[in-house]
Structure 1
Amino acid sequence: MKELTRGVLRFETEIYPKRKEFFDKLIARQFPRALFITCSDSRVVPNDMTDSDAGDLFTIRNAGNIIPPYGELMGGVSATIEYAVMALGVKNIIVCGHTHCGAMDAVLHPEKVTSMPIVKVWLNHAESARRVTAGYKDLTEEQKARTMVEENVLAQLEHLRTHPSVAAALSTGDMNLFGWVFEIENGHVLSYDADQGAFVPLSEEHIPNATPRRRRRIL
């Protein structure tokens, strides 16, 4: 804790005073650019990954970047999604998984969490991703782990669409969804491209989008 305490003191005495004008602008209201839903893993740092600042990301973090389907668990994840969309007017939601994810490893190898009943129940929300991954034959353990991470991002995006606030915004074209995988081993981020059906590199020329096609209005 000494290192963390020193960090707090440096922030209070050096960093905050230099940026007080910036933080003063955030006092009245926040205008986040995106809702960022990711794993609690300490190696995943959303603001570093996106080179963003305080006030840019409204964040949800939990084991396995899980989003329970609407109505199944009316807890903090559901409340935060609803608040982000309806109160803050967030138009972009990113679901970000990462390689070497302990939660996804536990989904593939449930014996590792037999002594953690709450974790085991929580990870049931990734069951559809596990079954899809199991359907891919002849994968190495490394390939299976990577596939599980990707399929879980897609599964959680499906769960996200069951939330009324998100579904309503999608129906009017006011919401964009993104599925990312952060590669810890090289610092790269891949994004799911719904048109290609694959995770592809990001670029300024092409920002892959996981938003489903907008439904045609019936007049």
Structure 2
Amino acid sequence: MIWRIRSKTRSIITTMASLRPSSVKLSPFSAITNSFTGFHRNWLSLRAEKLGRVDNAWLRLSPSLKEKSVLRLDAWIISAGHAQELKSFKVQNMSISDGRVDFFDKMKQRFLSFKKHKYMGEVEHFKTLAEVQSPKFMVIACVDSRVCPSNILGFQPGEAFMVRNVANLVPPLENGPTETNAAVEFAVKTLQVQNIFVIGHSCCAGIQTLMTMQDDENPSFIEKWVGNAKVAKLRTKEDANHLSFDQQCKHCEKESINCSLLNLLTYPWIEERVRKGTLSLLGGYYDFLSCTFEIWTLDFKESNAVSHGSKLSVKDRVFWC
């Protein structure tokens, strides 16, 4: 191995020395194909002389050092041999990531447009928001990327305190702390919102999971979470079992909103405010297949908490189309 590499080295030196500058090309590893025009005439002889000195020094190395050096030289030859491939990979990889780069560029343009047309046009308003927020609405919506409440209903900065989760659910008090009831507590006790608005939507994957899942000793995170709306599933089976699966899901999507409204009443500090009339609980349903919106308000006097087994009574139902 050692003498074969030394022989190759001498061959390279001899070949380089015999070549004329006008005919020699740079190494393909540099990805440059221009000739050596412009280099000093003694460039090759200097390179050969240095390689010769390296060759003499090689003879004086101990066997162990020679072996290590050979391994390093082999590694260099291999890595150098793949240099062009690596460059090609980088170029190809850049083209693959162009979609991501383009999307971030779009986000940048959207932000700059927001700053120019919205922020700069309402500087005083945003300065006030920087000091304090006083939203009138607490919105509980689904994480589905197709149903952004701010986009659909036009909520502006400072108007709605918002939390989004799978299937827009509110667990009852007895189920313990979650990020959802923590957000609700902050909205009601600290921000003192006047309305809690639970918004559901059509084709909800969370509700579809609820409607199809079976009792399992090891439920997934999603199954365990949507289990908070199990009452809605049972009521749907009672009231709409004769309908198709898609129609049952749509029925359950609305029923789960009502269950969340009833679950909100299991929190004493919410029930007290609703009873006094300082807080309203509203349900909303967005059908993005027909682009319609339905909204209703919980009728507290006619409703009882879900723990009592009663269904929700609503009032002021409105349909936007």
Would the TM-score normalized by the shorter structure come out above 0.5? yes
Please, what TM-score do these two structures have when normalized by structure 1? 0.83
- Say if 1:7 and 1:73 are closer, same or farther in 2 by CA, change over 3 A: farther
Distance apart, 1:68 and its partner CA: 0.9
Q: Give the match for residue 24 of structure 1.
A: 127
Q: Give the match for residue 201 of structure 1.
A: 318
Deviates more, 1:66-75 or 1:100-109: 66-75
User: Equivalents in 1 of 2:208, 2:127: separation in Å?
Assistant: 43
User: Equivalents in 2 of 1:114, 1:189: separation in Å?
Assistant: 38
Deviates more, 1:188-197 or 1:47-56: 188-197
User: Equivalents in 1 of 2:137, 2:146: separation in Å?
Assistant: 20
Over the matched positions of the two proteins, sequence identity in percent amounts to 22
Q: Give the match for residue 183 of structure 2.
A: 80
Distance apart, 1:199 and its partner CA: 9.2
CA-atom RMSD in angstroms: 2.4
Higher strand share: 1
Q: Indicate yes or no: 2:108 matched with 1:9.
A: yes
1:155 to 242, 248, 259: 259
- Say if 1:162 and 1:115 are closer, same or farther in 2 by CA, change over 3 A: closer
Q: Indicate yes or no: 2:163 matched with 1:60.
A: yes
Q: Is the 8 A contact 2:166 2:206 kept in 1?
A: yes
Q: Indicate yes or no: 2:243 matched with 1:139.
A: yes
Distance apart, 1:114 and its partner CA: 10
The structure with the largest alpha-carbon Rg is 2
Q: Give the match for residue 138 of structure 2.
A: 35
- 1:135 aligns to what SS in structure 2? helix
User: Equivalents in 2 of 1:105, 1:199: separation in Å?
Assistant: 28
- 1:132 aligns to what SS in structure 2? helix
**Relative CO higher for 1 or 2, CA cutoff 8 Å, sep ≥ 6?**
1
1:120 to 193, 198, 223: 223
User: Equivalents in 2 of 1:148, 1:167: separation in Å?
Assistant: 24
CA distances 1:110-162 after superposition (whole Å, capped 9, x unpaired): 16x99961111111101000000000231122221110101100111111111
User: Equivalents in 1 of 2:315, 2:271: separation in Å?
Assistant: 23
| Number of matched pairs | 202
User: Equivalents in 2 of 1:132, 1:199: separation in Å?
Assistant: 23
Please, what TM-score do these two structures have when normalized by structure 2? 0.58
CA distances 1:143-191 after superposition (whole Å, capped 9, x unpaired): 2111010110011111111122211211211011111110011221112
Q: Indicate yes or no: 2:283 matched with 1:187.
A: no
Distance apart, 1:14 and its partner CA: 3.2
User: Equivalents in 2 of 1:151, 1:40: separation in Å?
Assistant: 18
User: Equivalents in 1 of 2:319, 2:190: separation in Å?
Assistant: 29
Higher helix share: 2
Deviates more, 1:165-174 or 1:115-124: 115-124
User: Equivalents in 1 of 2:142, 2:229: separation in Å?
Assistant: 13
Name stretches of at least 5 consecutive residues in structure 1 with no aligned partner. Answer: 204-219
User: Equivalents in 1 of 2:229, 2:316: separation in Å?
Assistant: 19
- Say if 1:145 and 1:12 are closer, same or farther in 2 by CA, change over 3 A: closer
